[in-house]
């Protein structure tokens, strides 16, 4: 079984609908992340969580919200979907690397992605 | 301006050729560099990492960092069709957040 799973894998929805993307992991990691990937822009961080009680905004959090229900589960919600939220969404987890002069060296492990289309 | 820039390609090479991938970065504080590989319809997976300057080899793969010019490279020797994927460079910034390049699509033709 995959260590990081995402549901659904594909979703087509209409403008204004509420959408929830779910992520589960069996790696036992405390740190979890949500990214979106767009052609030519690469991966951009939406939200991240370093433990169950910790939620932080990434670089593009507007229009999104998250919930960390347990160590193993991290959900991403689009409260009112709009067409420019059409993208590939990835969940990731990380262990804590040894660090290098205060710089994080975490290795991130990604799920298979959710392809979301907003019409 | 993105902190890590990468040519999106596609880069098409014949089987057996050397693949050369490059990224530039703007933040001189970056010290740790990663290459992720992403197959179609899959999530990225860590391929290699390297610290500071110099080369690091792992089988057919070599990661190279030139801090003086803020340039990172990945070389794939004896390329195979199974190397066809998108390769993303990344580095954690001072807040620990990974800054990814846009990714370069590589196609190795038999």
From the list B4, B42, B46, the residue facing A112 with the nearest CB is B42
Choose the weakest-confidence range: A4-8, A51-55, A111-115: A51-55
Which residues of chain B are within 8 Å of residue A42 when distances are taken between CB atoms? 2, 4, 6, 88, 100-103
Sign of the torsion angle spanned by Cα atoms B41, B48, B35, A113: positive
Band of residue B88 on the pLDDT scale cut at 50, 70, 90: very high
Nearest to residue A79, comparing CAs of A37, A10, A38, A20? A20
Q: Is the pLDDT higher at A78 or at A100? A: A78
Nearest to residue A87, comparing CAs of A65, A115, A113, A64? A115
Q: Do A113 and B32 touch (CB under 8 A)?
A: no
pLDDT tops 80 at residue A28: yes
Residues B37-57, mean pLDDT to the nearest whole number: 89
Band of residue B30 on the pLDDT scale cut at 50, 70, 90: confident
Q: Using the 8-state DSSP alphabet, how is residue B64 labeled?
A: E
Which residues of chain A are within 8 Å of residue B34 when distances are taken between CB atoms? 107
Q: Do A112 and B101 touch (CB under 8 A)?
A: no
Q: Average pLDDT, whole number, for chain B? A: 91
Instruction: Report the pLDDT value the prediction gives residue A39, as an integer from 0 to 100.
Output: 84
Residue A48 and residue A61: Cα distance in Å, rounded? 10
């Amino acid at each position: 079984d995959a260590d990081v799973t995402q549901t659904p894998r594909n979703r087509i929805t209409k403008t204004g609908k509420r959408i929830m993307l779910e992520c589960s992991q069996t790696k036992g990691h405390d740190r979890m992340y949500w990214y979106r990937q767009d052609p030519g822009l690469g991966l951009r961080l939406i939200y991240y969580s370093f433990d169950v009680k910790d939620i932080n905004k990434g670089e593009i959090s507007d229009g999104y919200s998250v919930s960390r229900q347990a160590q193993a589960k991290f959900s991403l919600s689009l409260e009112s979907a709009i067409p420019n939220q059409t993208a590939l969404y990835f969940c990731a987890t990380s262990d804590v690397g040894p660090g290098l002069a205060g710089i994080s060296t975490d290795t991130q492990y990604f799920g298979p992605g959710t392809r979301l289309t907003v019409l | 301006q993105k902190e890590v820039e990468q040519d999106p390609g596609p880069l098409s090479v014949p089987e057996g050729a050397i693949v050369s991938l490059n990224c530039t970065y703007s933040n001189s504080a970056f010290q740790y560099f990663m290459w992720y590989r992403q197959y179609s319809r899959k999530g990225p997976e860590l391929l290699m990492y390297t610290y500071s300057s110099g080369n690091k080899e792992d089988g057919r793969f070599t990661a190279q960092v030139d801090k003086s010019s803020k340039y990172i490279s990945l070389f794939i020797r004896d390329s195979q069709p199974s190397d066809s994927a998108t390769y993303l460079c990344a580095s954690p910034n001072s807040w620990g957040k990974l800054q990814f390049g846009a990714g370069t699509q590589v196609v190795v033709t038999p």
